[in-house]
Structure 1
Amino acid sequence: FFRSPLGRKVVAAELKATRKDELARNAKGLPKIQASDDRLLIIGHLAQALPAREAGAEVSLAIAGVAADSLSSMIPGLFGGGQAQNLLDGQRQRLMGQIGEDLNNTLLYVYRDLSDAELEEFATFAESPDGKAYYQAALAAVRAGLAVGQSSSDLK
C-alpha cells in the first residue's frame, strides 16, 4: 500500500504534519477542522483502525519512565519495588483516553489534503487484514524501540 501513489501521499501528509515548523505552528493545539458527515464517518473508521492512541501512550510513558528513572537515581529509594512502573502503567488508559478525545480532529488535520475517496481507500487498507498486520507490527516496533534497556519480560 505505502508504495502506491496514495500510500506515498499518506506518508507525505504524515511527514508534513511532523515537521519542525508544523509542530511549532501547532504547539498550542490544532485548529478545529470542519468536515462533512461522510468525511467524519471515514475518519472515525480510520481512528478505530490506527493504533494512534496506543502508540501515543507508549511514547508518553517512555518519556515519563526516563524521568522517573532519573529522579529515582538522584534520590535513591524514592520509587521502590516497581512503584514507578506501576504508576506509569496506571496512566496508560488515561493517556489513551486523552489522545482519543482529539484523535478525529488530529486525523482530519493530518490528512486534510486527501480527498474523501483517498481517505476511504486508506481507511479500507487500515481495516484490512494486511493493514491490521502492518499497524500491529508498527506498534510492536514502537514498543520495542522505546524499551531499550528493559528485559524482554518487561515488554507488554
Structure 2
Amino acid sequence: MLNTSAAGHLATMIFVLMAVGLQLSARLNFATIRLLDYGMNPLYYAIFPWFALLTMLALKVVLHVAAGVNTKSDEFLVLWKHGTAQRYGKKNNYILRILKAMPAIRIYAGLHDTHCFKLDKTVIRTFVSSIIDWTITLLMTFHVDEFYTA
C-alpha cells in the first residue's frame, strides 16, 4: 500500500530529474568544449566542467540507487520467503501466503502515474549515451565562427 501510494510521485520526480539532468549535462558539456579557447577568465571557465562533473555524478548516484532497489528487492523478497518457510514450516500459513503474494518494489520513471520505463542498469547506459549524443548534436549545430564574432 505504501509503495503504490508514493510510486506516481516518485516516478514523476525521477522523470523530471532525468529530463533536466540530460539537458543540463549536455549544455554544460557543450559550454566546456566550445568556450575552451574563448579568452575567458580561467576561474569563470572552471564553472562549466565542475558543474558538468557534479551533475553527472549526482545523476549517476541517484540512478544507481534506483536500479539497485529494483534488483535487491527481488533478492530480499526471495530470501525473506525462504527464511520464513524454513522457520515456521507449515505452522503459520498466513504469513507464507502474504509473503508469496507480495510484489517486489519497483521504481519507474514517468509522468502522473504513467510509468514509461523501469529503472535498471540498461537505462543508466542509455541515459549516459543520450547525454553524449545531445552534446555532439549541439556541437555540430553551432559553428565555431558564431562564437568569435562580436
TM over 0.5: no
- Normalising by structure 2, report the TM-score: 0.32
Higher Cα radius of gyration: 2
